[in-house]
Each structure stands twice: as structure tokens, then as C-alpha cells.
Amino acid sequence: MKTLYIKSSPRGERSKSIELWNHIIEKIWWEVIHLDLFNSYIPFLSEWVIAYNYWFGEYEWLSSEDKKIADVQKEYIDQIKSSDNIVIAAPMWNFWLPGALKTWFDLVLKINDTFAIENWNYIWLVKNIKKTIVVWARWWKYIDTPFAPYDNLTGPINLLLWFIWLEAKNFWLEWVNYASWEQLALESLNIKGEIDSFIAA
Ligand SMILES: Cc1cc2nc3c(=O)[nH]c(=O)nc-3n(C[C@H](O)[C@H](O)[C@H](O)COP(=O)(O)O)c2cc1C
């Protein structure tokens, strides 16, 4: 069994989403593939790589810079296709997800590789993932509050995952910079308990 762990906060030891993520690592002892988005090559798709992805060009025609993009795109897709579980740790940034995570999605949601469209039918090509977990941290409280409509993250991130047929379980740590240290520790403990129950199920 392999688990792909994706970190999308650059805050290292200070990161609350990574704290939850570390908790999951301790629980799942299978082989782990680490992908730290802020310390990895996560390029934007270029004009010629998009053309290549949509069959308007051959790999050999790409420049060495574009080949690097196409190669790393393949590497990230291979990571997904060779994993049994995916765990993503992410902060909320400006009501949305960090750009590095969105760029990773732009690379891995690839036609005829992770999904296909045939005769106007949508086909999912990622069939190996058993569990997908997203652990989030954010400053404010959105769940069950009047601020829920400002949460432009939970819906879209789940939609991006669903695009390749991954149904994620989300765990949110809220009020990160607002709650007292004791409140936060308690909340974090509660969420870790929920994570444990989900993993054990
Ligand atoms: C650039 C930036 C934008 C942020 N935008 C929001 C936001 O829109 N809503 C929110 O609740 N918190 C926001 N925060 C606070 C973070 O979500 C919070 O610090 C969280 O703990 C970050 O996750 P991490 O601890 O895993 O890095 C923002 C933080 C940064 C650095």
C-alpha cells in the first residue's frame, strides 16, 4: 500500500494543516510518497505543453524547457496512479487554495490520462485510490456561521478532486490565529480523533 502525501503550506513546523497531516502519517505506516509543493518544481502549463497534451504536437518537438514541464507532469500523474491513498494538507489563502496546489491540479487533471471524454461521455481513469483525505487550516470560522458563503475553497477543491473521481473526506481546523492556545489544542485533538475513526473505518 502506498500513500501520496501532499503538503501545500510553506510554514513548516508552524503549519497547522501539516500538524494534522503529520498525525495521519503516524497512523498510516504504509509506504509514503512525499510531495512538498513549496519545495518542488510545480510549473505552470505552457503554450506548447498544452498543445502536446491536446495532440497538436509531438513530445520530440518540445523545447528542453517544455520537456521539463511535460516530464514533471507525467511524474505527478504517475504518483497518483501508483498510490492507494492521497492525503492533502492545505491552508486557506484568500478564501481559496494556495496557487501551488491549484497549479498541481492543473498538471494532474489531464485529458486521456486521468480522465477522458468519449462520445460526450465522461470517463474516469484513476481507479486505484481508496481513501482521499484533505486536512485544512484557516484563520476564521466558516462552518455553520454566517461566513459560510465566503468559503470558496471547500466546494471547488472537492470538485477538482471529483473531476478525477476522488471523493475526499475533509477535516477543518478553524480559528487558528484567533482561538486561545488551549482552545486550539482541544479542537486539534477532536479533529485528530475524527481522523482516527475515519482511517479505522
Ligand atoms: C496569504 C494568506 C492568506 C490567508 N487568507 C485567509 C483567508 O482568506 N481566510 C482565513 O480564514 N484565513 C486566511 N489565512 C490564514 C491561514 O489560513 C491560517 O494561518 C492557517 O493556519 C494556514 O495554514 P497552515 O497553518 O497550514 O500554514 C491566510 C494566510 C495567508 C498567509
Contacts 24+ apart (CB under 8 A), 121-126: 124/164, 124/165, 125/164, 126/80, 126/81, 126/164, 126/165, 126/166
Q: Is 139 in the pocket of ligand 1 (CB under 6 A)?
A: yes
pLDDT band, very low/low/confident/very high, at 29 (cuts 50, 70, 90): low
Distance 46 CA to ligand 1 centre (A): 29
- The pLDDT value recorded for residue 28 is 65
Closest residue (by CA) to atom 18 of ligand 1?
138
Q: CA 200 to CA 8: how far, in whole Å?
A: 25
| Average pLDDT of the chain, as a whole number | 91
Distance 135 CA to ligand 1 centre (A): 13
- Helix, coil or strand: residue 72: helix
Distance 146 CA to ligand 1 centre (A): 19
- The pLDDT value recorded for residue 46 is 97
* Model confidence at 25: pLDDT above 80: no
Q: What CATH number matches the domain at 2-200, 3.40.50.720, 3.40.50.360, 3.50.50.60, 2.40.110.10? A: 3.40.50.360
Mean pLDDT over 147-161 rounds to 93
Q: CA-based angle 153:80:4, to the nearest 5?
A: 75
- The pLDDT value recorded for residue 123 is 92
pLDDT tens digit string along 164-195?
A: 989 999 999 988 878 888 888 888 888 889 98
Distance 174 CA to ligand 1 centre (A): 10
Q: Is 38 in the pocket of ligand 1 (CB under 6 A)?
A: no
pLDDT tens digit string along 36-85?
A: 999 999 999 999 999 999 988 899 999 999 999 999 999 999 999 999 99
Q: Give Cβ neighbours of residue 116 (< 8 Å, ≥ 6 apart).
A: 122, 123, 125
Q: Which residue has the higher pLDDT, 193 or 30?
A: 193
Q: Is 16 in the pocket of ligand 1 (CB under 6 A)?
A: yes
Q: Where are the alpha helices (DSSP H) in 29-176?
A: 47-53, 64-81, 99-108, 154-162
pLDDT tens digit string along 112-131?
A: 999 999 999 999 999 999 99
Mutate to test the pocket of ligand 1, among 37, 93, 135 (most ligand atoms within 8 A of CB): 93
Q: Give Cβ neighbours of residue 87 (< 8 Å, ≥ 6 apart).
A: 3, 4, 5, 6, 21, 24, 25, 28, 132, 133, 134, 135
Lowest model confidence (mean pLDDT) among 2-11, 21-30, 98-107, 167-176? 21-30
User: For residue 10, which atom of ligand 1 is closest to its CA?
Assistant: 27
- The pLDDT value recorded for residue 93 is 96
* Model confidence at 17: pLDDT above 80: yes
Name the nearest CA neighbour of 34 among 78, 87, 74: 87
CA-only gyration radius of the chain, Å: 18
